[in-house]
Amino acid sequence: MPRGIQLLHDPVFNKGTAFTEAERDALGLRGLLPPRVQTMEEQKARVMENFHLKPNDLERYIYLTSLMDRNETLFYRLLVDNLEKLMPVIYTPTVGQACQMYGKIFRRSRGLYLSWNDKGQIKRVLKNWPRKDVRVIVVTDGERILGLGDLGAGGMGIPVGKLALYTACAGIHPGQCLPVTLDVGTNNEALLQDPHYLGLRQRRVCGPEYDAFVEEFVDAVKSVFPRALLQLEDFGNANAFRLLEKYKDRICCFDDDVQGTAAVALAGILAAMRLSHGQLEGQKFLFMGAGEAGLGIGHLIVAALKEAGIPEDEAKRRCWYVDSKGLIVKERTDLSEHKKAFAHDYPFRAGLQQIIEDLKPTALIGAAGRGRLFTQPIIEMMARLNSHPLIFALSNPTSKAECTAEEAYRWSGGRAIFASGSPFEPVQIDGRTFIPGQGNNAYIFPGVGLGVVASESRLVTDKMFLVSARALSALVSEEDLAVGRIYPPLQKMREISLHIAVEVAEEAWRTGLARMERPDDVTAYIRSLMYDPVYKVYA
């Protein structure tokens, strides 16, 4: 453990003004701090007061990141106790702007940058990470950051933010978390010309060379951090599906954009059935967007329908997709392999209104990363066709949302069941208050990760996301549904994650994937693993 000024510069051990008189004497801190000793509660009050003085959310993001760099324990205590208020700042939607401006707001490096220049020595670079018991790695190559596209090395904000939520929501110890960015270049011309851009100034490596680079990284992770769960994050569509398929049965990994988004969306749909008094088997889903998120949701819906006894071909006929060119049907010759699974034998249509009129979907799910697609005529048509249309505007950040909560409720006469990727404020219509549900992946991935870490599962399976979705939907109360909310409050996130972790761990034990023996009380065991950010006494 460091002493003196080095201790005050170490975010893991630093307590700032909370060091007691005895600790100041024992650790060589006397005179290096103002004389008053503060409690953590007093420190939190000071931080939140300064937080509210900041002029905008980007400045608040910078302020909170700086706190994490100074005092890790205080940062996580603040985040745990104020999750609903702070999550939109440290993650979606503010993290999108932070990634766009990463080179300009850079203060102190976090995580590991593995660049194309490191090929052939990635294992050695991984060993530079000072914390050795890594259990969760979130990695991106920055090609498809949220709905903002290729942000190159600036995408590091995503792994950092995701891992902060692993700790706050599921109690994964921050010392067991590692954010990684694979910098293989960028095709973003603005970044290549930006003097403040901090990544490699070259176009993206692709093809066999890219695959060899990722393979070297995966092999290095298995060697250096053999107990780690690897979460793939914000890879481009062309690589995301391919890499997930390549590695999901070889290493303990998952893709949150494909599988996490699918689970949180399915959980919202299952909860919505309680509001609409419908059944999953009776729904027809129309997706705007056939990328990672949209197709991931469709595949998980199909898995849930198959469990209900519906044949796979029939289950797929409940899911229809619209991409940038129009309806995905068999007659099209321009479809990528991952879209063909949902290409139906049906006449091609290009316009969304005509598609809705023909197909008469019960649910409209936006996952295209293109804002304002759900116009007033579209939502009014969905409300005409359905007593309680499901309107899910899941694209992030807020600027990319297909519609706002107020638009969905107002244009449907208050009958829409709404969820979004980014948070929206409550909406009042005709004397009734609607609290929109945020289909945030943070409801799913921290609990999945905790369950995998707790059971030491060798793999992450699709079934784990199905049981996670069911577990999350079961936690939506009648009080939540009464205000139109199809997800439980964010303040309950640690209990939600614990509940999901238990189901995931149980699935690992049921399928023989767990590498540790099942304890008698699974819930108590997993709860005992969850990090609680409180100060330790050093003297």
Active site residues: 91, 162
User: What separation, in Å, do the N-terminal and C-terminal C-alpha atoms of the chain show?
Assistant: 12
C-alpha torsion sign, points 383, 385, 391, 393: negative
Residue 267 in tokens: 């959980």
> In terms of DSSP H, where are the helices of 20-71?
21-26, 40-53, 57-70
C-alpha 392/C-alpha 408 separation (Å) is: 9
Residue 250 in tokens: 């070889």
Beta strands in 424-499 (DSSP E): 427-429, 432-434, 437-438
Distances (CA, A) of 327 to 342, 355, 375, 388: 10, 7, 18, 24
C-alpha 19/C-alpha 40 separation (Å) is: 10
Tell me if 146 sits within 8 A of 400, measured CB to CB: yes
C-alpha 256/C-alpha 421 separation (Å) is: 14
Q: Is 26 helix (H, G, I), strand (E, B) or coil?
A: helix
Tell me if 19 sits within 8 A of 37, measured CB to CB: yes
C-alpha 157/C-alpha 58 separation (Å) is: 12
C-alpha 201/C-alpha 203 separation (Å) is: 7
Query: Angle CA(321)–CA(323)–CA(326) in degrees, nearest 5?
Result: 90
Residue 291 in tokens: 């990328």
Residue 365 one-letter amino acid: I
C-alpha 427/C-alpha 376 separation (Å) is: 17
C-alpha 229/C-alpha 135 separation (Å) is: 6
